[in-house]
């Protein structure tokens, strides 16, 4: 009976080591995902800001640019600054649009 307990303890020890390794892998992937999400969010925001800057220089925004900004915003706005830019773009779009870029 003692041999069975020792054998079971060894097996549980191996399982515990494997679980620890998997936990480390999951934690590493979680950190990598957070970093990637942050980069993606930054790129989305940069694209919206660029659309805004172009529209501001032209004094109007094309339907295509406005649609693109809205689609980017839908992916992940999550910023008061980006919210204010989208408000400005919406106001600009409401005042009139150009049909070509």
Does residue 93 surpass a pLDDT of 80? yes
Give the model's confidence band at 82: pLDDT under 50 very low, under 70 low, under 90 confident, else very high.
confident
Give the model's confidence band at 94: pLDDT under 50 very low, under 70 low, under 90 confident, else very high.
confident
Q: Compute the distance between CA of residue 66 and CA of residue 47 in angstroms, rounded to an integer.
A: 12
Backbone angles phi, psi at 72, to 5 degrees: -65, -40
Q: pTM value?
A: 0.63
Instruction: Please give the pLDDT value at position 53.
Output: 94
Mean pLDDT, range 36-53, rounded to an integer: 90
């Amino acid at each position: 009976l003692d041999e069975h307990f020792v054998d079971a303890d060894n097996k549980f020890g191996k399982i515990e080591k494997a679980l620890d390794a998997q936990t480390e892998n999951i934690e590493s992937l979680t950190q990598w995902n957070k970093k990637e999400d942050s980069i993606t969010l930054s790129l989305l925001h940069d694209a919206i800001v660029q659309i805004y800057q172009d529209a501001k220089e032209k004094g109007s925004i094309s339907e295509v640019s406005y649609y693109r900004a809205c689609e980017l915003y839908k992916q992940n706005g999550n910023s008061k600054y980006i919210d204010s830019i989208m408000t400005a773009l919406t106001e600009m779009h409401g005042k009139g649009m150009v049909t070509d870029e």
